[in-house]
Structure 1
Amino acid sequence: MPDSQTIPWSAGSWTHPPHSTESGRELVATAVEGSDAWRHTAYGFVHDTEHALLAPLAVGEAMEVSFLAPWAGEFDQAGIFVRIDDEHWTKAGVEFADGHLGLGAVVTAVRSDWSVGYVDDWIDAEITVRVSRWADAVIVRARAADGPWRLVRVAPFDGDATASAGPFLAGPTRSGLTVRFTRWTRTPADTDLH
């Protein structure tokens, strides 16, 4: 990947503050019980209580977020959040559900959709999620430790809209999910899809 520029934790603003945070070289954040992001589809509810630390993301830029967590609670989740407004956003990363760690993305344009696949061998690894913003799309990639990048999603995204992105976490079913974010960087967007 291209040369990266570290984004200071202080450069972001929270959509909803976590229960607690500690920052230095790393950011340690603990989710509020019941926090989540979802709109309508299949479940019939709207959840707009995720903890996302956001900074501007322009067309032609990419962001990477790296993190570790003790995946134990149903629907524990962390990764990267890309937001235009309450009804247009994407969250991508990992979620612990039904006894498995899943890598996927939720893409929301008024209603949410969800794609996911198991990555149980990533459960103890440092995970990095990367989002590249193109003129009409976001491209999501992820990897465990220094392993190969895996394409997660290509999703439509309004290139004319002002957007922001950054680390996120949510604990829909429990208190105490603590995620250690180890890196937040900005680079030029990927130029190739494959």
Structure 2
Amino acid sequence: MKTLLFIDGCVRGGQSRTLALTERFLDRWQAKNPDWAVERLTLDAMGLRPRTGAEIERLGKLEREKSFDGPDFALARQFAAADKILLAAPFWELSFPAAVKVYLEHVSVVGIAFRYGADGETIGMCKADKLLFVTTRGGNYDGSEFECGWRQIVGLCGMYGIGEPLLLRAEGLDDVRNDAGALLARAGEEADALAETF
């Protein structure tokens, strides 16, 4: 059975506009793909911590020994094995919540998510062909140098070997000049269309 890994980085839970948009996409996608398994990670409930210096040293030794079977690398193994990846996170401090960054630290393991080639280049090892990043933004940052979240996701997909990073977003939602409901409705229509092809 093929697997979609859904990484929920929406720390406001049911109050999250990003999560509502993502759930709309996921409902439509699951209706079209009933034979797929969905593995959901709710980052806010997981309590992941940033790696300390001592942990990095210990894990680096395991990486060099290629000892990847233990629980320290479970999230990286799950991420690398997924057939498709759905990542939902609001736009916070020009990127995304810290929980997402910490999760990415846990999955970015040399020897599982990527490796280095003979010339030092990174070679992706992840199975997924597509990653969909869903986000909502209070301001208007599309194409701005201040938007760092989506750009980081695109870079990581290149490192992981995920060939098609996709973006679904609604932005300008806190701009009083905008009709936030209309913007979210338009993004919802985009979510429906993406669900047909993802």
With the length of structure 1 as denominator, give the TM-score of the two structures: 0.28
Q: Which of 1 and 2 has higher RCO (CA within 8 Å, sep 6+)?
A: 1
Bigger fraction of residues in strand: 1
With the length of structure 2 as denominator, give the TM-score of the two structures: 0.28
Q: Which has the larger radius of gyration?
A: 2
